[in-house]
A and B are shown apart, each in its own frame.
Chain A
Amino acid sequence: MSAHPADAAIPHTVEPHPITGLPNGKFGIWLFLASEVMLFGALFSSYVLIRTQAPHWPPEGGLSSEILNVPLATVNTAVLITSSITMVLAWASCKMGRLDRFRLWMGSTIALSFVFLVIKYFEYTHKFEQGHFPSTNNFYAIYFTLTGLHGLHVIGGIVVNTFLLTVGTRLWKVDRDHFTNRVENAGLYWHFVDLVWIFLFPSLYLL
């Protein structure tokens, strides 16, 4: 084999791999999501343990829903759910050969991600102003760790989605199916981030 650039290309970006029946990228992203389940799962398990062992939760008294801002978190839940459907529509637009629509929906997804982070920022700064930090007690330690890790995942999604919306779009002109698969993989990640929040919201804010 010569060192021709074509030989260096990663195989099965569009054609399914004969063993898995999937393009490599999609299989890869699912394995990554499996590792993410374990990351959040371990933290969630810690939360269950700390909470079931606590004489009162939250330790300072009252209810979680009185300490945390439920209306803001409810709005944020709706924002993330909406960003999930705009992400699906971005991928569907690629499938239908509409790059202009893709730009619209992907742009909306990124904008909604920023809305989520801005709301989260207001929630955090309000807590800091009241003198509540991760070191305050187990409740805030768990709250900031889980929502903070989730927030980092939102930032990661913004980075990937912004790449796909800007320079990444060049691939569309070369290989539409390959680009569409990239959008699908980014979407799988994004829906997972939404999925994590679906569990974090009731368990941290409502219960």
Chain B
Amino acid sequence: MAETADHSSPEEFKKHLGQYYVVFVALLCLTAITVGVSYLHLNRPLAIAVALVIATVKAALVAGVFMHLISEKKVIYAVLILTAAFFLLVLLLPSLTIFESVAV
């Protein structure tokens, strides 16, 4: 979207604005849903799963549309894939210490 926006006239650009409002409303709705679900007091694994799925969808909307990641250059995807790999590593590293303590 950023790419097309760079080459379009202000009039054409205005047409892109609609999707920002759609995402905005979607984000507010998802926030309401995640708070609403928390009052249902689901069992813990299910509650964590639901909350994280909703948060991930919201994050994807923000990154994809507001940060126009949907139509970004390859080099940024490469940076983000590398970041995601290291983030997973950092997230999983502690579990190695847990396994170690269990073994001892």
Select which of B16, B48, B63, B91 is within 8 A of A45 by beta carbon. B91
Q: Give A contacts to B, CB under 8 Å.
A: 20-22, 27, 30-31, 34, 37-38, 41-42, 44-46, 48-49, 52-53, 65, 70, 74, 77-78, 81-82, 84-85, 87-89, 92, 95-97, 184, 187-188, 191-192, 194-195, 198-199, 201-203, 206-207
Q: How many residues of B contact A (CB 8 A)?
A: 46
Q: Give B contacts to A, CB under 8 Å.
A: 2, 5, 10, 13-14, 16-17, 20-21, 23-24, 27-28, 31, 34-35, 38, 44, 47-48, 51-52, 54-55, 58-59, 62-63, 66-67, 73-76, 79-80, 82-83, 86-87, 90-91, 93-94, 97-98
In the bound assembly, the distance between CA atoms of A72 and B90 in angstroms comes to 31
Select which of A37, A48, A198, A207 is within 8 A of B58 by beta carbon. A198
Is A82 a contact partner of B24 (Cβ separation < 8 A)?
A: yes
Select which of A21, A42, A187, A207 is within 8 A of B51 by beta carbon. A207
Select which of A42, A65, A192, A199 is within 8 A of B55 by beta carbon. A199
User: Which residues from chain A contact B10 at a C-beta distance below 8 Å?
Assistant: 95-97
Give 13 new A-B contacts, CB below 8 A, not counting A195-B62, A203-B55: A22-B73, A41-B86, A45-B91, A49-B94, A85-B24, A87-B66, A88-B66, A95-B10, A95-B13, A199-B55, A202-B38, A206-B47, A207-B44
